[in-house]
Amino acid sequence: MGKWFEIARLDHSFERGLSQVTADYTLQRDGSVKVINSGYSEKDDEYHQATGTAKFVQQSDEGYLKVSFFGPFYGSYVIFELDQKGYQYAFISGYNKNYLWLLSRTPEVSQKLKEQFIQQSGKLGFDTDQLIWVKQ
């Protein structure tokens, strides 16, 4: 839970052109997770924000959730790698190979972590040549 910085992503319409992207996750009493995504649009010269809800698909200690920003329509959210030492980074995918993110507790990460993300994502079939490295 808490605040995460988006380090890299594959392009998609709802984040297109955004920089300084963050995601804030808050556990709710009913076990769901409130999600607030925000990012800066240089084109509009303003911050954009989207609020949604995530629900655990299986156990709450498994990184498999479904997320909705549009009413009853949910998309898959799979944490396929999580820093086990300090909970400092997460590699996340969507329901297909079009959705991929590297999130971090800090706005910058090491080159080694970037390379690890590219390698792990490539092994899973993602087109890592299309990654956008987000300006924080």
Q: Using one digit for the tens of pLDDT, what is the confidence trace for 91-131?
A: 999 989 999 999 999 999 999 999 999 999 999 999 999 99
Cα separation, 59 vs 128, in Å, equals 30
Residues 88, 27: Cα–Cα separation, whole Å: 18
Check whether 133 has a pLDDT greater than 90: yes
R_g over Cα of the chain = 14
Whole-number percent of the chain with pLDDT over 70: 100
Which one-letter amino acid corresponds to residue 17?
G
Share of the chain above pLDDT 90, in %: 85
d(CA 91, CA 77): 10
In this prediction the pTM is 0.93
Which pLDDT score is estimated for 73? 82
Instruction: List the domain boundaries for the chain.
Output: 2-133
pLDDT band at 27 (very low <50, low <70, confident <90, very high): very high
Please report which confidence band the pLDDT of residue 89 belongs to, taking 50, 70 and 90 as the band edges.
very high
* Contact present, 63 and 80 (Cβ < 8 Å): yes
Q: Which of 40, 21, 35, 16 is nearest to 102 (CA)?
A: 21
Tell me which of 1.10.1060.10, 2.40.50.70, 2.40.128.20, 2.30.36.70 is the CATH number of domain 2-133. 2.40.128.20
**pLDDT of 59 strictly over 90:** no
